[in-house]
Amino acid sequence: MRRDIFQAIADPTRRAILVLVAVQAMTPNAIAEHFDIRRQSISKHLRILSECDLLVPRQEGREIFYELKIDKMKEIDAWLDQFRKIMEDSFKQLDDVLFTLKNKNK
């Protein structure tokens, strides 16, 4: 079973949950009210998001508030960073790269 942030944010429902919870920590029931799917399915999503450390549960009596762990979001940003770097370098040497490529694949 693959379980990483990228797989976690691939599902639109989970992305919506993240946005909701970013504003304020919420209980599964409260979250489920925003969707047309059963509470139990939301629970599944919350489990996945928690396993990826994107959410952290905080028990309060019989309620559980799920809170966003914004730090984990930075991992996505870090992945994007690698492209920013690569592209900076590539743009500088764009013509060289294209030239090399054409010769290599002649």
Partner DNA sequence: TACATTTGCAACCGAACGGCTTCATAATAC
Partner DNA sequence: GTATTATGAAGCCGTTCGGTTGCAAATGTA
Cβ nearer to DNA, comparing 6 with 85: 6
61 belongs to the binding site for DNA (CB under 7 A): yes
Reading the block at residue 77, the tokens are 């940003």
For the chain, list the strands marked E by DSSP: 55-60, 63-68
Residue (of 64, 9, 59) closest to 32 by Cα position: 64
Which one-letter DSSP state was computed for residue 26? B
Residue 62 interacts with, from DNA, a copy of itself, none (CB under 5-8 Å by kind): DNA
The stretch among 44-52, 76-84, 86-94, 96-104 that binds DNA (CB under 7 A) is 44-52
10 belongs to the binding site for DNA (CB under 7 A): yes
Residue (of 92, 86, 94, 9) closest to 45 by Cα position: 9
69 belongs to the binding site for DNA (CB under 7 A): no
Q: List residues binding a copy of itself (CB under 8 A).
A: 2, 4, 6-7, 9-10, 12, 15, 18-19, 22-27, 30, 63, 65, 68, 70, 73, 76-77, 79-80, 82-83, 86-87, 90, 97-98, 100-101, 105
The amino acid occupying position 39 is R
